[in-house]
Structure 1
């Protein structure tokens, strides 16, 4: 059959459609992802199920292959963009259905650093895991972080740096939070290529996350702990 390429999404049973969406996400096919999301919703899937099974499931594979050097930044950005298309459809529905909200994260690259690929990836994966993400962009001074935290209802602060010269600025932000007496109100996660666990500890962060997949797991862990404390 020569037109093997033409897979008609609407004709696939649910489980095959979800696997096809994982492939389409991997290949960065935004329109196909949007179509797949709409088909599953049309079949009575809950928005949260579509998010978890189709999109997060797919992005987890992307994240793993990125970490293992099978996929590279351009492909990951395409996948993230395709996921954004699906998320745009699901977001208002998730808000309506009151899907389990994991928590809220403010994320931004530190002052002097304009790298945002890792940060964007973490943001996408966090959204995919059910967190609300407020991305404050690149080149953020202390004030920008403070302002974002002051906007309220924030659980996690994520800081990213890709240059060894900008890494120390993370400590400047944490020190400012200590000075203001708000440090313990937030879980602080740091990441970026030149960082490591020792550095994270030295500057007083709660955790260093080596990649987006680890960031999501770590954030979930801290939120679970926080909820237990509240419950207890």
Structure 2
């Protein structure tokens, strides 16, 4: 793979953990997580905070986490900025065919979005390693649709992996260990993009820094899943399709 002339960075596990607080925070898994699509959003509830990210990262709400109120078949968190309703009923996220124990509704002002939460209780069967071969568009990362000046993509050829985060190009090697996809070390060009796209880049490279399970859903998409809500959804990179 050819890279545009630029400074080259080598991403290894220790390096990623030292790039900022984002990865350190991910290591401390929240007590509860939820995710939604169309538009993509994520929610994390800790002992002290509720953190919501939506609208391609443009909407961010952080509020102190109160004691939840009992509700019909679930619980409710009410603050001045955000209301979270968690209902104990099976929920499918609609993208990866994963099934979660809760349906989650988030209300911010006059706007309400819905999704799924809790630890996944059912997942698609693992896809064979051969299913990775070829070029893919990265449709979403962590439940958020990708964007940027370039198409977020990844290609698997032989034992080589390469692609774009939507801003920078990356490349390296990959292998399978005990059924998990393992990459690295990866090299990436270093060009600046809008803050939201750079956050997306950290999420994509951070995902590939983990051991990922590989599965496929009914729509023919590949789902690469890591710790917590780490998830890349890939669709075939047909010519002209974005």
Q: TM-score of the superposition, structure 2-length normalised? A: 0.27
TM-score by length of 1: 0.28
Q: Which has the higher strand share?
A: 2
User: Higher helix share goes to which structure?
Assistant: 1
